[in-house]
C-alpha cells in the first residue's frame, strides 16, 4: 500500500512542471475574465454624473459671484431672467416660445428684495446638498428642508410653500438648470395606459396591464429614470381630464385603436408634457389632444403645442409643435345634434381670455383658429368633452374620436 502511494507521488512530481504551466494559463484566463466582466458604469449613469457635476459647477459660480461682491464691499445681487410675456418671444422657425434676455437684479441691500435674495441663496444651498447626497426631494420637501426660524427673531425663512416654489423656478432659469437637474420633483398628476412597455427606475412596466387606474406618470421622466422598451402604438391621444380618460380606458379605446392614452388632470404638469414630447420625438408618434371647447381648453392646447410663457425656457424639452387639436369644436353643437342642456354660458372672464388667446402670435396667423374662437364667442357658450355623453355613454370613444381620426378632422 505504501509502495503504491509512493508511485503516485512520484508520478505527480514528474507532471508537476507541465501542470503548473497549465494552471498559470488558467489563472491568467480567469483574471482576464474577471477584468472583462467588471461592471462598467452605464451610459445613463455617466450622463447623470456629468449633469450633476455641471449643475454643481453652476451653483458654485453663483455662490462665488456673491462672495466676490461682498469682499469688494459691493451690494451682493443675483440676476434673475424675467419670466413674463414681455420677455417671451415666439420662434416661427422652431414653432415654440422662447425666453428673452431681459433680467432683473435681486439685491441684498434693498429692503423690498432682501428677503427674496436670502431665500434664493438658501434654496440654492439646499439643492446643492441634494445633488451631493444623490437624493431627490419633492417641492414640498424642499420647502420643509429650508424652513426654520431665523436665530434671535420670530421671523421664518418662508411663510408657506407659495413663497418657495416661485423662487425655485427663478433658480432654474438663473442657473440654466431644470428642476430635474436640481433633484426636485412635483407631485404626480397624470396617467397613462396603452400599447407600450416602459422601464421606470429599473422596473419593467407593461402599460397594457394597468387595470382601471393606469400608470401614474412621475414628475421626472428623463431617460435616466424612464426608458421606452416595446411600443406597438400608432399615436398618442391626450385627454384633458381623468373622468374622460376613465371612459376611454374602460372602453379599451387604446386597445381597439392601437394607441397610448394619457391625461394631465387639466393643464398637464411638466412630467406629462415632457413625456408627450419624448413619445413624439423618440418613437415618432403623432400626438392628438381631446380638450374642452372653451378658452381654457384652447390654452391647454397652446401650452402643449408651443410651451407656456411662465416656463418658456423649457419649451425645447416640453413643447410638441406638431400636436393636433381633435375636439370639442364650436360647430359640434349643431354637427353632433346636441341639446341645450350642454351649453355653459361664457363669462366675461372667458370672453376676455378668448380674445387674449386669439392675439397670441401662434394663433393670430392661423385662420382656422381665428374662425374657431370667433364662432365660440358668437355662440355665447362653451362645451365640455363630457357633453357628448348626452348622445350616448360611449359616443366619444365609439363615434366622435374615431370619426375625427378617420377624416383627419383636427386643428393644428
Residues identified as active-site: 144
Phi-psi region of 266 (alpha: psi -120 to 50; beta: other; left: phi over 0): left
Give the three cell numbers for residue 45.
449613469
Give the single-character DSSP code of 107: E
Rounded to whole angstroms, the Cα distance separating 309 from 112 reads: 25
Cβ-based neighbours of 172, under 8 Å, separated by 6 or more: 178, 179, 182, 313
Alpha helices in 104-213 (DSSP H): 114-133, 139-145, 161-175
Rounded to whole angstroms, the Cα distance separating 65 from 59 reads: 10
Q: Which residues of 262-276 are buried (b: 16+ CB within 10 A; e: fewer)?
A: bbbeebbbbbbbbbb
Of 322, 307, 225, 216, residue with least CA distance to 264:
216
Of 403, 335, 326, residue with least CA distance to 375:
335
Phi-psi region of 380 (alpha: psi -120 to 50; beta: other; left: phi over 0): left
- In the Cβ-directed half-sphere of 326, how many Cα atoms lie within 13 Å? 25
Helix 114-133 vs helix 161-175: crossing angle, to nearest 10: 70
Give the single-character DSSP code of 134: T
Can you name the residues that pair with 90 across neighbouring β-strands? 97
Secondary structure of residue 325 in the 3-state scheme: strand
Amino acid at each position: 500500500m505504501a509502495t503504491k502511494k509512493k508511485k503516485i507521488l512520484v508520478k505527480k512530481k514528474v507532471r508537476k512542471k507541465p501542470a503548473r504551466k497549465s494552471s498559470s494559463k488558467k489563472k491568467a484566463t480567469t483574471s482576464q475574465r474577471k477584468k472583462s466582466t467588471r461592471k462598467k458604469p452605464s451610459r445613463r449613469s455617466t450622463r447623470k454624473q456629468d449633469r450633476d457635476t455641471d449643475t454643481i459647477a453652476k451653483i458654485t459660480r453663483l455662490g462665488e459671484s456673491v462672495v466676490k461682491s461682498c469682499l469688494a464691499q459691493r451690494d451682493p445681487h443675483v440676476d434673475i431672467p424675467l419670466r413674463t410675456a414681455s420677455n417671451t418671444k415666439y420662434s416661427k422657425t422652431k414653432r415654440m416660445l422662447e425666453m428673452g434676455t431681459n433680467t432683473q437684479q435681486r439685491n441684498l441691500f434693498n429692503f423690498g428684495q432682501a428677503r427674496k435674495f436670502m431665500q434664493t441663496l438658501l434654496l440654492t444651498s439646499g439643492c446643492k446638498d441634494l445633488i451631493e447626497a444623490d437624493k431627490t426631494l419633492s417641492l414640498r420637501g424642499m420647502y420643509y428642508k429650508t424652513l426654520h426660524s431665523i436665530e434671535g427673531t420670530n421671523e421664518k425663512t418662508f411663510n408657506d410653500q407659495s413663497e418657495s416654489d416661485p423662487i425655485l423656478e427663478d433658480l432654474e432659469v438663473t442657473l440654466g438648470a431644470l428642476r430635474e437637474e436640481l433633484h426636485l420633483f412635483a407631485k404626480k398628476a397624470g396617467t397613462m395606459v396603452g400599447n407600450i412597455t416602459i422601464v421606470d427606475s429599473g422596473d419593467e412596466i407593461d402599460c397594457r396591464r394597468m387595470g382601471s387606474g393606469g400608470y401614474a406618470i412621475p414628475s421626472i421622466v428623463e431617460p435616466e429614470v424612464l426608458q421606452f422598451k416595446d411600443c406597438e402604438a400608432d399615436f398618442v391621444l391626450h385627454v384633458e381630464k381623468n373622468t374622460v380618460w376613465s371612459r376611454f380606458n374602460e372602453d379599451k379605446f387604446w386597445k381597439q385603436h392601437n394607441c397610448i392614452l394619457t391625461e394631465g388632470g387639466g393643464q398637464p404638469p411638466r412630467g406629462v408634457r415632457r413625456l408627450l414630447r419624448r413619445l413624439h420625438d423618440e418613437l415618432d408618434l403623432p400626438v392628438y389632444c381631446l380638450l374642452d371647447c372653451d378658452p381654457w381648453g384652447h390654452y391647454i392646447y397652446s401650452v402643449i403645442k408651443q410651451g407656456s410663457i411662465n416656463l418658456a425656457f423649457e419649451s425645447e424639452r416640453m413643447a410638441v409643435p406638431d400636436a393636433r387639436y381633435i375636439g370639442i369644436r364650436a360647430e359640434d353643437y349643431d354637427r353632433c345634434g346636441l341639446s341645450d342642456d350642454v351649453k355653459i354660458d361664457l363669462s366675461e372672464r372667458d370672453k376676455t381670455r378668448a380674445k387674449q388667446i386669439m392675439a397670441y402670435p401662434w394663433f393670430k396667423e392661423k385662420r382656422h383658429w381665428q374662425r374657431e374662437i370667433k364662432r365660440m364667442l358668437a355662440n355665447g357658450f362653451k362645451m365640455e368633452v363630457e357633453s357628448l355623453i348626452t348622445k350616448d355613454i360611449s359616443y366619444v370613444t365609439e363615434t366622435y374620436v374615431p370619426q375625427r381620426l378617420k377624416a383627419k378632422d383636427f386643428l393644428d
